[in-house]
Amino acid sequence: MDLLNALVDKGLRREVPTREEALAVLATSDDELLDVVAAAGKVRRQWFGRRVKLNYLVNLKSGLCPEDCSYCSQRLGSKAEILKYTWLKPDEASKAAAAGVAGGAKRVCLVASGRGPTDKDVARVSETISAIKEQNEGVEVCACLGLLSEGQAERLRTAGADAYNHNLNTSEATYGDICTTHDFSDRVDTVQQAQAAGMSACSGLIAGMGESDADLVDVVFALRELDPDSVPVNFLIPFEGTPLAKEWNLTPQRCLRILAMVRFVCPDVEVRLAGGREVHLRSMQPLALHLVNSIFLGDYLTSEGQAGKDDLAMIADAGFEVEGTDTMTLPEHRTCGGPAAEAEAEAAEEAVSGTAETAGVPAPAEESRRDLVAVRRRGAGTDLPPNA
């Protein structure tokens, strides 16, 4: 396909595709799917070889969030029967993190529900970061605490946080449909605060909330403009007890097309296969490794993932290798300021200013797998050992 050849050439040169090209990837047929995966896989291998970075989530504070994000089991008014607990102590969080590191995780992601941290919360998380780094040499720590206030990003960076995660989730035009207690610009501002403080920015999206192809392209181009170092791609986990419980819009094939589109738009960025992969990709998860270079190991915040040992076996069986702490994840030009930055910025600006054709919301999947949505009952906040 001329489209795929053009996208591979652009990806190898770190050039952003047009919006029309990104939409065309999402519109490809199932007959073309393996060609799409193979093409995006060439771009992935150019910048990341066959390495897979493992990340491990520690939910520091679960549930009882005052925000009304429709997709979230921890939201205000959620009836999902998830674990609910207040802040883990630093030693408890460090112990949980150690399980993930022992399983091969290179990065530990510390997450807390809520609109954003108080200064006391930042101090508490700073202690936790210190405890984790003292006991796990070489591990990266990413904080995900919600919207940041002035000076908090700098305090987290001083405490040793390597990265900060705050997802854009969906397009600016449709953000108000999934959340009313904050807006899209609040999220953009927090990502920019993290970058200004010297932390690596991590920001991604959630697919499967009823959005159109155009919405997906919009949020990925918005992410490209923000230029985070890592882009997690989540697939909606439709928790019973949340407003989006009936949104089963994804097939494994559509998930792969979405991941390929993200890889083409963000060729040299850490693209992470995040929440919902077991639910929606199912037996096709190994194919996704040809598109992403990062996954979460084990469980998520409020839901269970597949067994950590199965994650490791999947990576090995697919012919990939776990990335070690002695290996730099990102290509050198992203960490050292590579050449042609001005030209790349101009290309990105031109692409973002393009006009996308209107695309409809995809048809729902024929058969939903509600049996694959399992609420987390082990690990952080419980007396049971974690899945790592």
Which of the residues 19, 44, 69, 124 is marked catalytic?
Answer: 69
> Is 72 one of the annotated active-site residues of the chain?
yes
DSSP per-residue letters across 166-197 = ---BS-TTTHHHH-SSS-HHHHHHHHHHHHHT
CB 104 within 8 A of CB 297: yes
Task: Give the 3-state secondary structure of residue 256.
Answer: helix
Task: Give the 3-state secondary structure of residue 131.
Answer: helix
Which of the residues 19, 44, 72, 277 is marked catalytic?
Answer: 72
Query: Which two tokens mark 93?
Result: 């969080």
> Is 69 one of the annotated active-site residues of the chain?
yes
Amino acid at 305: G
Task: Indicate the angle between helix axes 184-196 and 213-226, nearest 10 degrees.
Answer: 30
Which of the residues 14, 19, 44, 65 is marked catalytic?
Answer: 65
- A 10 A CB-CB count for 324 gives 11
Query: Which two tokens mark 239?
Result: 């928790």
Which of the residues 144, 179, 202, 255 is marked catalytic?
Answer: 202
CA distances from 324 to 38, 105, 130 (A): 25, 9, 21
Distance CA 239, CA 79 (A): 9
> Is 144 one of the annotated active-site residues of the chain?
no
H or E segment and range at residue 53: strand 51-61
Query: Under the phi-then-psi rule, with left for phi > 0, alpha for psi from -120 to 50, and beta for the rest, what region is 225?
Result: alpha
Residues 6+ apart with CB under 8 A from 366: 251
> Is 109 one of the annotated active-site residues of the chain?
yes
H or E segment and range at residue 213: helix 213-226
Which of the residues 14, 75, 124, 142 is marked catalytic?
Answer: 142
Q: Which residues are annotated as a binding site?
A: 65, 69, 72, 109, 142, 202, 272
- A 10 A CB-CB count for 287 gives 19
Q: Which residues are annotated as a binding site for [4Fe-4S] cluster?
A: 65, 69, 72
Q: Which residues are annotated as a binding site for [2Fe-2S] cluster?
A: 109, 142, 202, 272
CB 362 within 8 A of CB 213: yes
> Is 179 one of the annotated active-site residues of the chain?
no
- CA dihedral 90→96→97→100, nearest 10 degrees, is 180
Which of the residues 19, 272, 277, 376 is marked catalytic?
Answer: 272
Q: Is 279 exposed, middle or buried (0-12, 13-18, 19+ CB in 10 A)?
A: buried
Catalytic residues: 65, 69, 72, 109, 142, 202, 272
